[in-house]
A = this chain, B = another copy of it.
Amino acid sequence: MVIHTSDRESEEIRSLDLFSGLDDARFSLLMRGAYVQNFPPMIELITEGDTSDFLHVLVSGSVELFANWNGRETTMAVLQPTSTFILAATIRRARYLMSARTLEKSRIILVPSEDVGAVFDLDPDFSRAVVTELAQCYRANIMATKNLKLRSSLERLANHLLSARKLAGNLESFELGLEKRRLASNLGMTPENLSRAIRQLKPYGVAIDGSRVTIADPSDLEGLAKPTDLIDTPCALQASAPAG
């Protein structure tokens, strides 16, 4: 890689589902043309409509995927390390359907699309890993669509909080992990309505102070949320859509 990564970083990247099956030779082939870059917060990494040149890997920080139409904007997902994004556009060599921006100071690896294609053709294990990853992203997005079409905004919020709690190790209290206005957009609602929805969840034992969430009795909230693993995944922060 053009700029060296730390051992811990390399290890983390290699341990991603997408790369863990690669032998060292193929992995370095993939990483040889790649370069790491540090970005400040609120930098637009990708603009929807542009054509895809790189597979992105988020190493640290956080990244928002969003989309615009006719003057409106919506959050599609908020990514945490370590995850890849824009895999589908890379594979199809197609235009990006989403834009991406850093939310915090972030460290990102850019792998040239040609290299991904080359290793894909060379290495059956890698091609299987790509398919598995894509299928996973596809399924996560189907879940997001079901979430939007079958649930009210209050139900979406309730389920999001339960997923986030699980992700945080089932602690009674945990951090929200993103600004409320982005959470609102992610859940398909306005910030004003999110604020009111949070109040509505008070009778279910939910208290949110700043970015700190406390759920007194999850089973109480589950009565409202009715989570199911056909909609709700433990990999929760991308409440509305995942990262292909």
A residues within 8 Å of B by Cβ?
Answer: 48-49, 67-70, 72, 74, 76, 87-89, 91-92, 94-95, 97-98, 120-121, 124, 127-128, 130-132, 134-139, 141-146, 148-151, 188, 226, 228-231, 240-241, 244
Contact = CB atoms under 8 A, between A and B. Distances in A.
Nearest to A147: B69
A228 B76 CA distance: 18
Contacts of A120: 128, 131
The interface centre, meaning the residue of A128, A137, A146, A241 with most chain B CB atoms within 10 A of its CB, is A146
Contacts of A148: 145, 148-149, 188
Contacts of A121: 124, 128
Nearest to A89: B139
Given A69-B228, A69-B231, A124-B127, A241 B145 contact: yes
Given A137-B138, A142-B244, A241-B142, A149 B92 contact: no
